Amino acid sequence: MRPLKLYIISFLLLLVTVLQAQNASAPKYEYRAVWLTTIENLDWPKSLVKSKEDVERQQKELCVILDSLHELNINTVLLQTRVRGDVIYPSSIEPFSHVLTGVEGKSPGYDPLAFAIEECHKRGMQLHAWLVTLPLGKDEHIKRQGKQALSRKRKELCTHYKGAWYMEPGNPGTAEYIVELVEEIVSKYDVDGIHLDYVRYPDRTNGYPDSALYRKYSKRMSLADWRRSNITAIVELVYKSVKAKKPWVRVSSAPLGKYDDLTRYSSLGWDAYNAVYQEAQKWMKDGVMDALFPMLYFNGNNFYPFVLDWCENSYGRHIVPGVGIYRLSPQYGGWDEIEIERQFRTSRGAGSAGVALFRAAHVLGNAGGARNVVVDVYNEKALVPPMPWWGTEPAMPQISVAARDEDGISLEWGKVFADDNFPAVRYNVYGALGDTVDISNVQNMLVHSLADTLFRWDCRSLATLTVAVTAVNACGVESGPVMVTFTGKTQLADVVELPASRSWGQRIEVVDMSGRRIYYGKYSRKVDMRGVPHGCYILNVYNRHGSRISTQRVFH
């Protein structure tokens, strides 16, 4: 039991937190994640590939799901990629899962993971490969796998316990095997994240048969500490391996929803630290995890004190509470919609980096009003939070073309190059009425994650408009904005009028957006732009000492 921090939660404090979150504007950065399960064909795929014609049907089914999630402003898909000792992509290590074709080890005739990544990226969503790390399946599943089963190929890495097989955390070879799988995915695919699930000992380990390994490897640690060190060793090795190959790929895990007993609230014997040996908060402190998705599928005092505990112990990394939206279904508890909405709002108010919803079919099926809650809370889009601990801020883009016509605005800028260790940057574009734009307000975002270096805003407004462009690296770290203000159409003329000169204004210079000087001469209230192509220009004023004392953009 740990010291009291801020775990005392009164109804009044909770109410204040919820109301503050409700009244606050939608955050610009927030994980809106959904677990998309493949095991037992729960979410996808519902149709199996039995013939070539079935491939398109299975792919279309996924596209419908992704379209629906995109409409709900979901920005992160956690796709179950390793199921139970089998996978949904062509692997040189493990067989194809039967969830694709109905037959273990049989190829569906396409690469489902590559297809899912491409389709998520088309919609501006991230895809994180979700790996069930240690469970290999019940006896009947292992029998179905036959000679392909890991328990037959690498029996020394496996343990049989209560009618099921698991990879053995106490064998150092297990961590190495998991890293092989992760490296295969990270090397072959443009995944945005690796998400470790069930990176823990089996539930309720009384009688778990690891005494021989404990005697061999424990180095006089207690059994509990040794088991925790085994799980942590897997996490550390995976993290370091991923970051050595692609540091922008996010590494996360889904620990149990309660980390440990709190001073005033018991975990009821079901927590990450003691029950399944996950020292997950230490992973954050040691910097071997980018995000945690604790599975907080509870309500009342089994949710609120514990979500605060996670957020208070984030160590600057991302805490993304797993919300059991399935609980709204009458089949799984029939919770009232207000409970889930309160969990959304409280998590946001507590400083979480967003939430993850379990699971996709319950969201899209609207059981118990689940979809309605998501629509209410996610009424604006949001970006996946950046990882500033890995990516440095990129340079600001430099505008080369800025033009306005009757139908809208066109912008073009030079490519911003990333560090050698990172892929090319993307771009965000913002727009607003007036002579400035607040890029922290997500409502001003016109487009995000743009690969091109040109943008067209079909905006017929005659008012003064400002557009801002930022560069974003692969870790989500955004540069400062470069802004272009287009004056209202009533002010457009061949002669640009300036305020009356003060004694300090001696010279004036007009340059185009590429830095070429168009005019340089004595200060005048009227600058004749006839004969100059229409577009955006920079107007600089210099004092008698030759120092630039003001600059502004004008549209002619």
Fold annotation for 11-17+31-377: TIM Barrel (3.20.20)
Alpha helix (H) residue ranges in 72-171? 112-122, 139-145, 150-153
- Assess whether pLDDT exceeds 60 at residue 295: yes
The CA distance from 151 to 149, in Å, is 5
pLDDT in tens, 215-250: 999 999 999 999 999 999 999 999 999 999 999 999
The CA distance from 541 to 102, in Å, is 73
Cβ within 8 Å of residue 143, ≥6 positions away: none
Burial label, 127 (beta-carbon count in 10 A; 0-12, 13-18, 19+): buried
The beta strand positions in 434-556, using DSSP E, are: 445-450, 454-457, 465-472, 482-486, 495-497, 507-512, 517-522, 526-528, 536-542, 548-555
- Using DSSP's 3-state secondary structure scheme, residue 72 falls into coil
Q: How confident is the model at residue 26 (pLDDT cuts 50, 70, 90)?
A: confident
SS3 content of the chain, % helix, strand, coil (to 5): 30, 25, 45
Cβ within 8 Å of residue 35, ≥6 positions away: 78, 80, 130, 322, 356, 357, 358, 359, 360
What is the distance, to the nearest Å, from the Cα of residue 14 to the centroid of all Cα atoms in its chain?
A: 27
pLDDT mean over 429-447: 92
- Assess whether pLDDT exceeds 50 at residue 8: no
- Using DSSP's 3-state secondary structure scheme, residue 300 falls into helix
Q: Which of 89, 147, 96 is nearest to 115 (CA)?
A: 89
* Per-residue pLDDT, 522: 83
- Give the single-character DSSP code of 327: G
Alpha helix (H) residue ranges in 304-400? 304-312, 337-349, 360-365, 370-377
Starting at the edge strand that comes first in sequence, how are the strands of the sheet with 507-512 ordered?
Answer: 517-522, 507-512, 536-542, 548-555
Pick the CATH number of 399-486 from 3.50.50.60, 2.60.40.10, 3.40.640.10, 2.40.340.10: 2.60.40.10
Handedness of CA 474, 476, 482, 486 (dihedral sign): positive
Question: Which tokens belong to 550?
Answer: 């003001």
pLDDT mean over 528-555: 71
Burial label, 57 (beta-carbon count in 10 A; 0-12, 13-18, 19+): middle
* Per-residue pLDDT, 22: 47
The CA distance from 293 to 27, in Å, is 19
The CA distance from 29 to 382, in Å, is 5
Percent of the chain with pLDDT over 90: 77
pLDDT in tens, 178-222: 999 999 999 999 999 999 999 999 998 999 999 999 999 999 999
Which helix (H) or strand (E) is 35 found in, with range? Answer: strand 31-36
The CA distance from 121 to 191, in Å, is 10
Cβ within 8 Å of residue 429, ≥6 positions away: 411, 445, 446, 447, 448, 450, 455, 457, 467, 468, 469
- Give the single-character DSSP code of 491: G
pLDDT mean over 423-432: 91
Largest CA distance in the chain: 91
pTM listed for this prediction: 0.85
Q: How confident is the model at residue 260 (pLDDT cuts 50, 70, 90)?
A: very high
Cβ within 8 Å of residue 496, ≥6 positions away: 526, 527, 529, 539, 554, 556
User: How are beta strands 193-197 and 126-132 bridged, if at all?
Assistant: parallel
Burial label, 60 (beta-carbon count in 10 A; 0-12, 13-18, 19+): exposed
Q: Which of 290, 294, 255 is nearest to 385 (CA)?
A: 290
- Amino acid at position 346, single letter: T
Higher-pLDDT residue of 505 and 2 is 505
* CB distance 402 to 484 below 8 Å: yes
pLDDT in tens, 484-519: 999 875 444 466 666 555 555 678 888 876 677 888
Phi, psi of 232 (to 5 degrees): -65, -35
Residue 521's DSSP bridge partners are 508
Cis peptide before 45 (omega within 30 of 0): yes
Half-sphere exposure (Cβ direction) of 456: Cα atoms closer than 13 Å:
5
pLDDT in tens, 315-367: 999 999 999 999 999 999 999 999 999 999 999 999 999 999 999 999 999 98
Q: What are the boundaries of each domain within the chain?
A: 11-17+31-377, 399-486, 493-555
Alpha helix (H) residue ranges in 335-441? 337-349, 360-365, 370-377
- Assess whether pLDDT exceeds 50 at residue 276: yes
Q: How confident is the model at residue 10 (pLDDT cuts 50, 70, 90)?
A: very low
- Assess whether pLDDT exceeds 80 at residue 45: yes
Q: How confident is the model at residue 536 (pLDDT cuts 50, 70, 90)?
A: low
Alpha helix (H) residue ranges in 333-465? 337-349, 360-365, 370-377
Cβ within 8 Å of residue 93, ≥6 positions away: 180, 181, 184
Average pLDDT of the chain to the nearest whole number? 90
- Assess whether pLDDT exceeds 70 at residue 96: yes
The CA distance from 254 to 471, in Å, is 31
Q: How confident is the model at residue 21 (pLDDT cuts 50, 70, 90)?
A: very low
- Assess whether pLDDT exceeds 50 at residue 15: no
- Assess whether pLDDT exceeds 60 at residue 458: yes
Cβ within 8 Å of residue 459, ≥6 positions away: 408, 409, 431, 465
- Assess whether pLDDT exceeds 70 at residue 535: no
Q: How confident is the model at residue 464 (pLDDT cuts 50, 70, 90)?
A: confident
pLDDT mean over 302-323: 98
Phi, psi of 200 (to 5 degrees): -165, 170
* Per-residue pLDDT, 466: 93
